[in-house]
Amino acid sequence: MMDGRTEYRRKLISSEEAAGLVKPGMWVDYGYYCGFPLLIDEKLARRASELSGVKIRAWAALTEPQVLKADPAQEHFIYNSWQLSAAERKYHNMGLCSHLPSNLGEMPRIYRENLKDEVDIAFLEVTPVDKRGYFNFGPSISYHRAICDVARTVVVEVNESQPWVYGGYDEAVHISQVEYIVENREYPIAELPPVQATRVDEEIAGHAADLIEDGATIQLGLGAIPNIVGELLVKRGLKDLGIHTGLFPDSMAALIEAGIATGRKKTLNPGKAVHCCAVGSRRLYDFIDRNPAVAGFPSEYTHNPHIIAQNRKQVAVNGALKVDLRGQVCSESAGYRQISGTGGQLEWTRGAYMSPGGRAIICLRSTRQEKDGRLVSNIMPALELGDIVTVPAADVCYIVTEFGAVNLKGRATWERAKLLISIAHPDFRDELEEAARKANFITRGTAGRLR
């Protein structure tokens, strides 16, 4: 029988030694969200002048990656992100960070099939080891086990601030499957600051919350508006909500604490708040720590539309940047400038619609202010050159702005245009209608019809 303490001591190395394992030309994979290896990243950045052609893959670093900061001319590291965070976006704007397009639910398969021979070293932030020799991936389960399965070398960075999250499967890795262990006693896992809601955000969230009924199972995506929807549901006192989501934010913990999200009426995993990652405050991390009401799964389970659809009345709430009059949704780019990534939005839109009584809701502000001070409509005649279509028009269900909610499913192009114009900012409705007529979205015979 393996002596866990002896094995642990044998594999324990310093963060400097871990960074020293990286050689020129290697592919290095960092952990997802709270799995980002904070200390090793710092030490690897210090080695920048010794290295060249080191290619790094990461996902939405919550703090500034030090390897990017240390390499302003991209002479040593080629940094790639599956989903840009605010910290990474800054470097993408400078041409120092590239995007990796993906659907989050496909990530475990991508690693196990497409990248099975392309991960030289994996650096993952984990919990302290338990008495049986397991490290838990904490709030960031998603695709970490898949990385461990294919990496030539697995290095875990142990962080006592990581909560231990009970899981459905693939939430942990055994010490026997790890080559090296680093102890991070310097940096706690990152927290997200509280969402600063605007009046417009609250109005949008209110319209979205109106579409959620007692007994629904909910998913909340990234951004201010989905999180505010969760907060509103607490105030409204709905009954027996369930949680099957990708992201688990603070508002979902509040729903459970308030007795609103009981999970009693869930079809799958009743009584369990299913998710693949949790990001938020220290209070959130303490809430999910060894909490039997919470169950972490890999993203291949949480984001699989066929799994999602098995939950009756599954409601998905996600944010967008722009929508055109045919219903195409852009949620991740502004022209050629990458803002974030596809994440799970398309998978959730499809899965929620497939659910009996389910609803897929996409929220956006009706306008945005450009750098020159101009107010611009986010409901547009057509998306702009370089905009990525995150959700195709045929998949879109509900679109919500501060001016209301419309359902585009089953609607002709002229109906879609009229419905979207009805929730556009009033200052832009006339010009949107004129553009819709010129494009023949609204035709002669349909011009005077409401629907």
Tell me what pLDDT residue 3 has: 64
Q: Compute the distance between CA of residue 415 and CA of residue 404 in angstroms, rounded to an integer.
A: 16
**Is the alpha carbon torsion for 427, 428, 433, 437 positive or negative?**
positive
Segment 150-159 shows an average pLDDT of 98
Q: Compute the distance between CA of residue 35 and CA of residue 113 in angstroms, rounded to an integer.
A: 22
Residue type at 17? E
Q: Compute the distance between CA of residue 393 and CA of residue 30 in angstroms, rounded to an integer.
A: 34
Per residue, the 3-state secondary structure of 151-168, as one string, reads: CCEEEEEECCCCCCCCEC
Q: Which range among 123-127, 218-222, 402-406 shows the weakest confidence by mean pLDDT?
A: 218-222
Q: Place 15 in a pLDDT band, splitting at 50, 70 and 90.
A: very high
Burial of 36 (0-12, 13-18, 19+ CB in 10 A): buried
pTM: 0.95
DSSP 8-state code for residue 392: -
Q: Place 4 in a pLDDT band, splitting at 50, 70 and 90.
A: confident
Q: Compute the distance between CA of residue 57 and CA of residue 80 in angstroms, rounded to an integer.
A: 5
Q: Place 226 in a pLDDT band, splitting at 50, 70 and 90.
A: confident
Model confidence at 2: pLDDT above 60: no
Could you tell me the domains of the chain? 4-183 (3.40.1080.10), 199-446 (3.40.1080.20)
Tell me what pLDDT residue 1 has: 42
Arithmetic mean of pLDDT over the chain: 96
SS3 261: coil
Q: Compute the distance between CA of residue 332 and CA of residue 387 in angstroms, rounded to an integer.
A: 8
Q: What tokens does 415 get?
A: 């109906």
Q: Are 184 and 157 a contacting pair, CB within 8 Å?
A: yes
Tell me what pLDDT residue 450 has: 58
Q: Place 449 in a pLDDT band, splitting at 50, 70 and 90.
A: low
β partners of residue 57: 29, 80
- In the block, residue with structure tokens 């969402």: 195
Model confidence at 137: pLDDT above 60: yes
Backbone angles phi, psi at 411, to 5 degrees: -100, 140
Q: Compute the distance between CA of residue 103 and CA of residue 391 in angstroms, rounded to an integer.
A: 12
SS3 331: coil
DSSP 8-state code for residue 111: I
Model confidence at 183: pLDDT above 60: yes
Model confidence at 224: pLDDT above 70: yes
Least Cα distance to 162 among 190, 124, 123, 127 occurs for 127
Q: Compute the distance between CA of residue 16 and CA of residue 21 in angstroms, rounded to an integer.
A: 9
- pLDDT tens-digit readout, 343-393: 999 999 999 999 999 999 999 999 999 988 899 999 999 999 999 999 999
Query: What percent of the chain stands above pLDDT 90?
Result: 92
- pLDDT tens-digit readout, 191-220: 988 778 899 999 999 999 999 999 999 999
Tell me what pLDDT residue 451 has: 52
